[in-house]
């Protein structure tokens, strides 16, 4: 569904991505693994058309979005849900209001359909009884589930996750990963997960790409990471840390 083809991106003199090519297929979970600050989140922005590369192309469902204008990008973005690292919830709105906000503002759906979709995501995310709570009253894991529900409410084909378990306790992390896997199995949704946590990759990803110093040094089935001889990959497999 999504393809990055020979992408190069610079901020000033700094080259963030160097001739990066990636393919994310429908109904698969692909992890983009790498240390902080190497451009993993930048790849998600490219997929959404929020930034443009210096060279190369980005395709979504066969459409080259690289040169599209903002109004032309809207129907493309509708195909993808985005779960931000900080969740990006509205602090002054209840959980139900957060979930329904963009349906009311952007799609102008009938209120009955908005309520139906909100109730559906409340149930799927296991948030029954918290509909009228503000985000500040929820745990980190629950806020993440609200953010996932809000991404799903548009009925996208692919979900993009930026560090979905960062800052969460082990139990909450496991629940979020299980929720992502459930989405794939029950709704045939694909997912892209940007992370620096290698255990998350092995827990959930069908395929993995490793971004290091602006380049993709691995792109294959996740289990084949164990076969890599690249020094960086060997180091993270042994130490399970990416602060390098």
Instruction: Give yes or no: residues 122 and 176 share one domain.
Output: no
| pLDDT grade for 88, boundaries at 50, 70 and 90 | confident
The boundaries of the domain holding residue 115 are: 88-155
Clarify whether residues 163 and 236 are in a common domain.
yes
Phi, psi angles (nearest 5°) of residue 158: -145, 140
d(C-alpha 56, C-alpha 64), whole Å? 10
Q: Which of 98, 133, 155 finishes a domain?
A: 155
| Shared-domain flag, residues 73 and 94 | no
Strand pairing class (14-24; 190-195): unpaired
71 and 178 belong to one structural domain: yes
The pLDDT of residue 177 is 93
Residues 141 and 197 in one domain: no
* The two three-digit tokens of residue 111, written as one number: 């209120």
Q: Per residue in 5-23, is it b (16+ CB within 10 Å) or e — as a string?
A: bebebeeeeebbbeebebe
Task: Clarify whether residues 143 and 169 are in a common domain.
Answer: no
pLDDT at 224 over 90: yes
Is residue 120 located within the same domain as residue 40? no
Same domain, 94 and 63: no
Asked if pLDDT for residue 220 goes beyond 70, the answer is: yes
CATH code, domain with 4: 3.40.50.300
Whether 190 and 219 share a structural domain? yes
Computed over every residue of the chain, the mean pLDDT equals: 90
CA-wise closest residue to 219 among 53, 28, 3, 30:
30
The per-residue pLDDT for range 115-153, each reduced to its tens digit, is: 999 999 999 888 899 999 999 999 999 999 999 998 888
User: 138, 155, 172 — which closes off a domain?
Assistant: 155
CB proximity list for 169: less than 8 A, separation 6 or greater: 140, 141
Least Cα distance to 231 among 212, 214, 203, 205 occurs for 212
Counting the structural domains of the chain, the total is 2
- Of 98, 120, 155, the position where a domain reaches its end is 155
- Does residue 162 share a domain with residue 69? yes
pLDDT of residue 243: 46
Greater model confidence, 192 or 238: 192
Q: Using an 8 Å Cβ cutoff, are 110 and 170 in contact?
A: no
**Same domain assignment for residues 64 and 163:** yes
Q: Are residues 198 and 161 in the same domain?
A: yes
Enter the pTM of the model. 0.88
CA dihedral (39, 44, 49, 50) positive or negative: negative
CA distance 214 to 9: 9
């Amino acid at each position: 569904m999504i393809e990055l083809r020979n992408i190069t991106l610079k901020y000033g003199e700094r080259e963030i991505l160097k001739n990066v090519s990636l393919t994310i297929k429908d109904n698969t979970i692909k992890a983009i693994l790498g240390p902080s600050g190497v451009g993993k989140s930048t790849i998600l922005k490219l997929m959404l058309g929020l930034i443009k590369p210096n060279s190369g192309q980005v395709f979504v469902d066969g459409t080259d979005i690289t040169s599209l204008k903002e109004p032309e990008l809207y129907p493309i973005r509708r195909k993808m849900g985005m779960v931000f690292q900080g969740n990006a919830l509205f602090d002054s709105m209840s959980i139900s209001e957060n979930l329904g906000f963009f349906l009311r503002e952007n799609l102008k759906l009938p209120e009955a359909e908005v309520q139906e979709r909100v109730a559906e995501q409340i149930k799927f995310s296991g948030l029954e009884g918290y509909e009228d709570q503000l985000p500040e009253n929820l745990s980190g894991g629950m806020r993440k589930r609200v953010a996932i529900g809000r991404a799903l409410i548009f009925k996208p084909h692919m979900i993009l996750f930026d560090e979905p378990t960062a800052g969460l306790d082990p139990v909450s992390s496991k629940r979020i990963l299980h929720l992502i896997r459930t989405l794939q199995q029950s709704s045939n949704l694909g997912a892209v997960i940007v992370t620096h946590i290698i255990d998350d990759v092995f827990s959930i990803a069908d395929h993995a790409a490793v971004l290091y110093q602006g380049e993709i040094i691995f792109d294959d089935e996740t289990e084949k990471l164990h076969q890599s001889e690249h020094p960086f990959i060997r180091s993270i497999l042994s130490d399970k840390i990416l602060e390098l």
